Amino acid sequence: MTPERVAKLVAWWARSYTQGLPTPIAERRISEIDADLHDHIAHARAHGTSDRRIALAILWRMVRGLTADAPWRRRVRPVEGSPMKPFLAVFTIAIGLAAIVLGGIDDAPGGQVLGLLLIIGVGSAWLFRWRAARKRPPADESPRDQQ
């Protein structure tokens, strides 16, 4: 696990939770995070920190930051409908990432497997929901109008 790989994971997460926001807002948030990660990696390497420790520190920052990402997005663009579904998804991903990171501390792979399954499950549900929403006709257009 390298810091650059974990930084790519964080960048993917930032692109995911800023998706659908106005482009300048999303780009500014992603740029802030990218710059912060670059500085974090450079500073840690300058102080002789191993790549593994840097990667774990970045991953742990991401897990801790997940709880701030949902409120930030709501401030930028309020959620329509129940805010509980996005919260549960973010919470489940956070638990999954924590299980992956902390599950590697002992020799039993159970925690890491559980974390991976949680993340895959939430990601799959999100992907299926996103694809279904893209195929759905707009509210003012009935399915008969498409024929």
Residue 22 — left, alpha, or beta (φ > 0 → left; ψ -120 to 50 → alpha)?
beta
**Amino acid 117: pLDDT:** 75
| pLDDT score recorded for residue 146 | 47
Indicate the residue type of 116. L
Residue 1, pLDDT score: 76
Return d(Cα 4, Cα 114) in angstroms, integer: 24
Q: Based on the domain organization, do 60 and 93 belong to the same domain? A: no
Which residue do the tokens 């974390």 mark?
115
Q: What is the pTM of this model?
A: 0.54
- For residues 66 and 91, state if they share a domain: no
* Together in a domain, 62 and 129: no
**146 lies in some domain:** no
Tokens of 20: 């659908």
Which residues of the chain are modeled with pLDDT < 50?
Answer: 139-147
Q: Residue 60: what pLDDT?
A: 87
Residue where a domain terminates, one of 34, 56, 78: 78
- Looking at residue 93, its pLDDT comes to 74
Q: How many domains does the chain have?
A: 2
The domain containing residue 111 runs over which residues? 82-137
- Please name the residues in contact with 112: beta carbons below 8 A apart, sequence gap of 6 or more: 99, 100, 103, 104
What pLDDT, on a 0 to 100 scale, did the predictor assign at position 142?
A: 41
